[in-house]
Chains A and B, each alone.
Chain A
Amino acid sequence: MANPGTLAPAVAANRDMSGPRGAKPKRAFSRANIIVYGTLIVVAIYYALPLYVMIVTSLKGMPEIRMGNIFSPPMEITFEPWVKAWSQACTGINCDGLSRGFWNSVNILIPSVLISIAVASVNGYALSMWKFKGSELFFTILMIGAFIPYQIMLYPIVILLREAGLYGSLTGLVLVHVAFGMPINTLLFRNYFSSIPEELFKAARVDGAGFWAIFFRIIMPMSLPIFVVALIIQVTGIWNDFLFGVTYISSPDRYPMTVQLNNIVNSVQGVKEYNVNMAATLLTGLVPLVIYFASGKLFVRGIAAGAVKG
Chain B
Amino acid sequence: MKFRIDRDALADAVAWTARSLPTRPTVPVLAGLMVESTDGGIALSGFDYETSARSTVDADVADEGRALVSGRLLADICKSLPGRPVDVSVDGTKVSVVCGSSRFSLQTMPVEDYPQLPAMPTASGTVSSDDFATAVAQAVAAAGRDDVLQLLTGVRIELEGSRISLLATDRFRASLRELTWFPESPDASATAVVPAKTLSDIAKSFTAGGELTMAVATGDQGPGLIGFEGSTASGTRRTTTRMLEGEFPKVRQLFAANALTVAYVDRQELIDAVRRVSLVAERNTPVRLTFSDGQVLLESGSGDDAQAQETLEARVDGDDIVVGFNPTFLLEGLQVMTEPAVHLSFTQASRPATLAGVQELGGEPNTSFRYLIMPMRLPG
Chain B binds chain A: no
Write the residues of chain A forming the contact surface with B, with a CB cutoff of 8 angstroms. none
List chain B positions with a Cβ less than 8 A from chain A: none
